[in-house]
Amino acid sequence: MLPRAIDLGPESQIGSYRLIREIGRGGMGTVYEAQHSVLPRRAAIKIMHADLRKHPGMASRMVQEASILEDVRHPGIVRVFECNVLPDHRPWIAMELVPGESLASRLQRRKSMPADEVAALIANVADAMASVHIRGIVHRDLKPDNLLLPADEREFPVRVIDWGVARLGPHGRLTLEGLTPGTPIYMAPEQAMGKGGGPACDLYALGVIAYEALTGHPPFDGRTLAEVVAMHLASEPAPLAELCDAPSQLCALIHRLLAKQPSERLDSVSVQKLARAIALDLSSNAYDALEIERPSTHATAVPMRPWPETPEDEAVVVDPETLETGNTEMHAVVAKPRWTPPLGRTVVPKAEHDQIAGEIIVRR
């Protein structure tokens, strides 16, 4: 028999943290802002709902979320500080607190976003996902609600959050019996059919998010779950070129991410490179003449990627044909270290941009 659930609220003490206020509530738990009792650090404390204790799989999913993120070090992935269990058997996680708003909130206010911001969003999310895909981790529920846009301009422009339904490798799967994890509107066809999903399902979801950010609505929506799933399986999205004035390269990239077959989608590293080059080209059109200050990293919990410093960095070349043919090899190596213009702050160093033989060439 389960013990009586502990009443929690502001001023409650959980481990080394004192709860300050509730800042969010979801299907699995409630999130509080909290202050560490010794360290000068605030955190986001996620506590599982008391009525979910009767489902052992739910507690396992929360613990899994902490385990998955424990060793990941990327500025686009929210950090986990601690994971423990309350006396009433509810797990809780102390995570990095990042003031800001979700992409869902941003889209609710603005309906859609400019092409340069969407390209930067794709590049930054793909960069973050590449850091976990290489470890065999798949999020499986990417959506605007799970993309946090930090308010601090010195932060990496986006954080991927809520890894409660993530999968760790082919043998580390923790899923409730009969449950297909994910949100139908953003769910890849193979995921909707219950066939699981590798990294390609995260890239499909990113394509849906980008399509929605450009047009103000997702590519597929219906009155019932069955309608939405059927569209993901068999329908083609309306061409972006008919719905917005975004560049053809960006439209082609998004449509490539929405391919029905996982093998036809680009991998996260290729997506990051292509979207980054597109974002740089778009942002340069408005900011070519500006003297840009290097971004500061002094106040970030996880350092941002430094700005490329050497003038000898190689050119970034994107051939639009790579989006159609499946050849994702770049014509030149992307300059390292990589850094993508922050979402909503399309800042780039001075650059010369030329249009040559249908290719976008960005020279520093």
Quick one: average pLDDT of 290-319? 32
Using pLDDT thresholds of 50, 70 and 90, give the confidence band for residue 5: confident
Question: Which token pair is 154?
Answer: 């010195």
Q: Of the listed 51, 88, 116, 141, which one is catalytic?
A: 141
The sheet that has 316-318: what strands, in order across it?
A: 316-318, 359-363, 352-356
**pLDDT at res. 164:** 66
Using pLDDT thresholds of 50, 70 and 90, give the confidence band for residue 334: very low
User: Per the domain annotation, does 7 fall within a domain?
Assistant: no
Domain total of the chain? 3
User: Per the domain annotation, does 8 fall within a domain?
Assistant: no
| 3-state DSSP assignment of residue 152 | coil
Domain end position, chosen among 96, 115, 148: 96
d(CA 280, CA 284): 6
Judge if 181 and 329 occupy the same domain: no
Per the structure, the complete domain to which residue 330 belongs is given by 275-363
Neighbouring residues of 38: CB distance < 8 A, sequence distance ≥ 6: 16
Judge if 235 and 173 occupy the same domain: yes
Domain end position, chosen among 35, 65, 96: 96
Rg of the chain taking only CA atoms, in angstroms: 21
Q: Is it the case that residue 87 has pLDDT exceeding 70?
A: yes
Residues 86 and 92 sit within 8 Å (Cβ to Cβ): yes
d(CA 216, CA 208): 11
Judge if 77 and 27 occupy the same domain: yes
User: Per the domain annotation, does 194 fall within a domain?
Assistant: yes
Judge if 104 and 92 occupy the same domain: no
pTM (2 decimals)?
Answer: 0.74
Judge if 119 and 138 occupy the same domain: yes
Quick one: average pLDDT of 194-205? 89
Quick one: average pLDDT of 201-222? 96
Whether 141 is catalytic is yes
Judge if 286 and 145 occupy the same domain: no
Looking at per-residue confidence, does 89 or 352 come out higher? 89
Residue 61 sits in a domain whose CATH number is: 3.30.200.20
**pLDDT at res. 283:** 82
User: Per the domain annotation, does 5 fall within a domain?
Assistant: no
269 by Cβ neighbours in 10 Å (0-12 / 13-18 / 19+) ranks as middle
Quick one: average pLDDT of 209-229? 93
Domain end position, chosen among 57, 74, 96: 96
Judge if 92 and 113 occupy the same domain: no
